[in-house]
Structure 1
Amino acid sequence: MPNKITKRPLVLASLVLSMFMAAIEGTIVATAMPNIVADLGGFSLYSWVFSSFLLMQAVTTMIYGKLADLFGRKPIFIIGVVIFLIGSILCGFAPTMGALIVFRLIQGLGAGAIQPIVTTIVGDIYTIEERAKVQGYLASVWGISSVLGPLFGGVIVQFIDWAWIFWMNIPIGIIGLIGVITFFHEEVNTEKKTIDYTGSSLFFIAISCLIVVFVQAGTSWAWLSLETISLLLIFVICMTIFLWHENKAPSPMMPLALWKNKLIVIANIATLLSGMIILGLSSFLPTYVQGVMGESAIVAGFTLSTLSIGWPISATLAGHLVLKIGFRLTAFAGGFALFLGTFLFFLLDADKGPIYAGISSFIVGVGMGLSSTTFIVSIQNTVSWYERGVATSLNMFMRIIGSAVGAAFLGGVLNMRLNHYYQQKGEDLEIASTDMLLDEGMRETISPETLASMQDGLTYALHTVYTGLFIIGTLTFVILWFFPKATIDKQNRN
């Protein structure tokens, strides 16, 4: 537990830098990928540059959270940042696409510690009154990084070299490390700790199989292929043994008692669903604006960036609201905003234009900011110091899994409906030809009749996707009706 020597402003500045470093890595790479592919080749492995990072982050987040509860936040944070920086250095030197994917795995191995431990440290060093506001500021880091990431990536690729999108992490990470090592102090129980190696291994294998299925099935493999079925079978077996083991382990990696807490259960289910919404919008809104509305990539980027503006604003606001109206009403307000935003996307058509899409995106961002901040603060307020790391990590893990499920499920829906449309109309087109809609130059070479048919097909398919998002948004709103009326425990300060 932190002692009174900790210099909170300097620690917070160091944590914000570290979180910014990990957060921006998710968006800055996208801008540089065409240049990376041009240098390294391996276009067929393109998606794995992103997926490998997500995979390792997902499977280690919970493990790091438990280790932080056992050995303290500081050593686990330092280990995570060091691994992340080693991965960043290696990524810049990657000679092939295969090597880059391996080095991105190392980066993800470090990133799995950064976000949950940063959030947990904030929960440790601030009182409940302060914590709500500071967690809102941390949420702002993610919104700002998602806006600045593509911009920084474009500048670095154009004027320097793509390797620097990874190497820029080195000075940021070192400053963050020095700040935490120097100014953050904690007192950790020195008695011998028991590490749940069996539970951690089973969890690692199970979630790895699940994420690989989400990434590969429906694209590289059929959903009913031998590979998919085999991996899902391994997931079910390992997860079943994991749950049985955790019930008996003296120091379980995931204390199952957490799932008996109604607030944590509701918050985690809502987080899973909201993760699906965010990934769905991020993946398909630019496609709609460019392919159906015929707008430029810059305009498409604007419609999505409004989500990143609404999120940090409302996250900061949530920090004040939870102290005035309580956790339940603030979370409920967030759920309503998600419901309203996804309903507006359900009504979206090409005639409404990009401004309508941008406003809808902003409202979804407001819902994410209000709900996600409330969930983290309420969860941290519910548990003791000894469970705060794993409880915080569990919530973040649910968002990662939600994103993976959303990408797989909604991507599958899009391809299925697009195929159905072309077969129904008897059009001699393939899904791959839809890529031409997203290239302004190529779009001009398509005949008006074919262009209209392709846009109608994409509209038809994406409307189904937005219908799915609306259903998910509605489910989130309904679930939050059951969010308990938790009281703010002012004694739970450390």
Structure 2
Amino acid sequence: MQKGSLIKLAALCGVPFIMVLGNSMLIPVFPQMQSDLGITQLQVGLTITLFSIPAGLTIPILGFVSDKIGRKKVIVPALILYAIGGTVSGLAPLLMENPYNVLLAGRVIQGIGAGGTGPIAMALVGDIFKGSERSQALGIIEAANGIGKVISPIVGALIGLIIWYALFYVYALLAIPIAIGVWLAIKEPPLETKDRTFKKYVGNITTIFKQKGKTLLGCYAAGSVVLLVLFGVLSFLSDALENEYGLTGVVKGFALAGPVLAMSATAFLSGRYLQNHMKKMKESIVLGLAMSVIALAMITVIKNDIVFFAGLFFNGVGAGLVLPAVNTLITSSAPLEERGGITALYGSVRFFGVAAGPPAFSSMLEVSRMFMFGSGAAMVALSLALAAFTVNEKEIFDNQAKGEEGDKVGDKQDKQDAQDTQDNDREEENKVNWALAGTVSIIKRFIPKLRKREENKEE
């Protein structure tokens, strides 16, 4: 990859990275936020919900707008809006006696900005890079996304040591330089979709759903439910680590990163496997959902610290098995011209899952902890049953193979791109495996303390 391409890619990598920080970085400071503002755990969870819902609603709209006026003209204002929202949320606790409502308003503004960042940056990568460079660029963009997911709880815990609302200033401090970098470094090619009408945009998506709606329904449900449960569990875990286990600061951040790291590492490995085993997509989805059901069910019925943390770890592994297969099936369900609409809709559904997780788990916790985890297991079980009866990867890939000649050429290029991505991902995979080994080492040191805690309980 040439130097000019690397500069463009470096600028674009910041866009999905900062979007991932939007939710995950806040979770470690939930207890401090709840204490300082005098609010409930449900109200704390709304800081994620009222970020994710506006993002989910605006992604398809801003995706269409970017097809009409250009990607950069959407991404840069969206990043500025993201920074403004973070500043509003950060200044509210500093300047106001009752800042909660204004803080939430800032999060809504941030969410609207987030809708014009990550998904459109991915489309811009596809516009700029061609052939093997495209697959390499997309692999690096995904790596930036994964790194953001893993480090965000740790960064959040570190910054939270200063004061919890300092996190909102970080959003602004990062978003503005990234916006400037995108504006200066990126020169967009002419858009081939600028003359497409909104009616045609909707019509194309409707046609795809008529043909492949059952499989898409199962995939959308699986992707949204695993993220709903993951963020619901992380919201609960943030409070439990501090109040039940006495973990604070960076140690707490590493503990919160555990389930996310399990998900990211598994996603790297399963994604690599599935590139050469395309007919194993449904098996991966079903296996991942089944693993999550078993893990959550074990937490529900066995009240033991070791089972609890092991269950959270394997729930993350289950999510890592589900998401790469779901992503591949969804992106393969449409030809290139309609792929943006289908993936934008999927991005919205994912955001809605993230939005629902914290308030749903907080509400269920008011009944009991057993009810909360049992309900989580039931939701995943329902998505498992739906996926088992609706997902048909043969239909997706057979229809893809029967497309027009241009689509066939595109598919061959996609396969070559996937092969090129394998080589590019090895280095990132090694980094993830190293981090995973470190986490396992920490868990091993923590297990004797958990056992001693259990023995003390018995005494």
Residues 342 and 34 (structure 1 numbering): CA distance in 2 closer, same or farther, change over 3 Å?
closer
The letter for the 2-side match of 1:169 is Y
Q: Quick one: distance in 2 between partners of 1:368 and 1:357?
A: 17
* 1:241-320 equivalence runs, <5 A: 249-252=199-202, 255-262=205-212, 263-284=215-236, 295-297=245-247, 304-320=256-272
Q: Which runs of 5 or more structure 1 residues have no equivalent in the other structure? A: 197-248, 419-457
Match of 1:58 among 56, 59, 62: 56
Q: Distance in 1 between matches of 2:323 and 2:386?
A: 12
CA contact (8 A) 1:333 1:367 kept: no
Specify whether residues 166 and 467 from structure 1 end up closer, same or farther in structure 2 by C-alpha distance, changes over 3 A only.
closer
Kept in 2, the 8 Å contact 1:304–1:361? The answer is no
In the comparison of the two structures, how many residue pairs are matched?
A: 393
Cα contact 2:59–2:119 (8 A) shared by 1 = yes
The structure 2 residue matched to 1:29, chosen from 26, 31, 43, is 26
Cα–Cα, structure 1 residues 57 and 101, in superposed 2: closer, same or farther, change >3 Å? same
Tell me, yes or no, if the aligned pair for 2:46 and 2:359 is still in contact at 8 Å.
Answer: no
Tell me how far 1:21 sits from its aligned partner: 1.3
Shift of 1:5: 9.8
* Contact persistence 2:297–2:377 (CA under 8 A): yes
Residue in structure 2 matched with residue 68 of structure 1 by the alignment: 66
Q: SS at the partner of 1:113?
A: coil
Q: Which residue, out of 325, 333, 352, partners 2:277?
A: 325
Shift of the alpha carbon at 1:395? Answer: 0.8
- Looking at structure 1, the residues matched to 210 and 80 of structure 2 have their Cα atoms a distance apart, in angstroms, of 35
Task: Name which of 104, 109, 127 aligns with 1:106.
Answer: 109
User: 1:289 and 1:154, CA in 2 relative to 1: closer, same or farther beyond 3 A?
Assistant: closer
The reply on whether 1:396 has 2:347 as its aligned counterpart is yes
From 326, 329, 340, give the equivalent of 1:375. 326
Task: Decide whether the 8 Å contact of 1:380 with 1:388 is kept in 2.
Answer: yes
Q: CA RMSD in A?
A: 3.9
Residue among 166, 179, 182 paired with 1:180: 182
User: Counterpart amino acid of 1:10?
Assistant: I
By how many angstroms is 1:340 displaced? Answer: 1.7
Q: For residue 325 of structure 1, what is the amino acid of its counterpart? A: H
**CA positional deviation for 1:410:** 5.3
Give 1:309 shift: 1.2
| Mapping 1:99-138, distance limit 5 Å | 99-125=102-128, 138=141
1:336-358 CA distance string (max 9 Å, x none) = 02312321321236867444433
Per-residue CA deviation, residues 304-353 of structure 1 (Å, 9 max, x unaligned), is 53321122223323443343111x41452243023123213212368674
TM-score (norm: length of structure 1):
0.66
Match of 1:17?
14
Match status 1:360 vs 2:311: yes
Question: Is the 2:28–2:238 contact (alpha carbons within 8 Å) kept by the matching residues of 1?
Answer: no
Aligned to 1:78: 76
Q: Which amino acid aligns with 1:323?
A: Q
Note closer, same or farther for the CA distance 1:124–1:45 as it changes in structure 2 (3 Å cut).
Answer: same
| Shift of residue 110, structure 1, vs aligned partner | 0.2
1:166 aligned residue (155, 168, 171): 168
Q: For 1:132 and 1:374, how far apart are their aligned partners in 2? A: 17
Tell me the SS of whatever aligns to 2:191: coil
Over 3 Å counting, the alpha-carbon distance change for 1:184 and 1:376 in structure 2 is: farther
Amino acid aligned to 1:478: A
Matches of 2:120 and 2:109 in 1, distance apart? 18
* Aligned residue number for residue 478 of structure 1: 388
**Deviation for aligned residue 1:189:** 4.1
Out of 353, 370, 374, the residue aligned to residue 464 of structure 1 is 374
Task: Please identify which structure carries the higher helix content.
Answer: 2
Is the contact made by 1:336 and 1:477 (CA closer than 8 Å) also made in structure 2? no
Cα distance in 2 between the residues matched to 1:140 and 1:415: 37
SS where residue 177 of structure 1 aligns? helix
Partner Cα separation in structure 2 for residue 130 and residue 352 of structure 1: 50
Contact 1:144 1:308 in 2 (8 A): no
Q: Is the deviation greater in 108-117 or in 177-186?
A: 177-186
How far off its partner does 1:474 sit? 2.9
The secondary structure found in structure 1 opposite 2:410 is coil
C-alpha contact (below 8 Å) 1:136/1:317 kept by paired residues: no
Contact 1:53 1:105 in 2 (8 A): yes
CA, structure 1 residues 383+115, in 2 after alignment: closer, same or farther (shift >3 Å)? Answer: same
Question: Contact 2:295 / 2:315 at 8 angstroms: preserved in 1?
Answer: no
Given that 2:290 and 2:384 are in contact with CA atoms closer than 8 Å, whether structure 1 keeps it comes out as yes
What amino acid is aligned across from residue 391 of structure 1 in structure 2?
I
Assess, with a 3 A threshold, how the Cα gap between structure 1 residues 290 and 85 changes in structure 2: closer, same or farther.
closer
Match of 1:434 in 2: none
Which structure 2 residues correspond to residues 195-214 of structure 1 after superposition, within 5 A? Answer: 196=198
Provide TM-score, normalisation by structure 2: 0.71
Name stretches of at least 5 consecutive residues in structure 2 with no aligned partner. Answer: 402-407, 415-459
- The whole-number CA distance in structure 2 between the counterparts of 1:304 and 1:153 is 10
Q: Return closer, same or farther for 1:285/1:319 CA change in 2, 3 Å cut-off.
A: same
Deviation at 1:368, TM superposition (A): 2.6
Report the alpha carbon displacement of residue 68 of structure 1 after superposing the two structures with TM.
2.5
Secondary structure of 1:316's aligned partner: helix
Counterpart CA distance in 2 for 1:132 and 1:151 is 30
Structure 1 distance, partners of 2:311, 2:39, is 37
Give the secondary-structure state (helix, strand or coil) at the position aligned to 2:25. helix
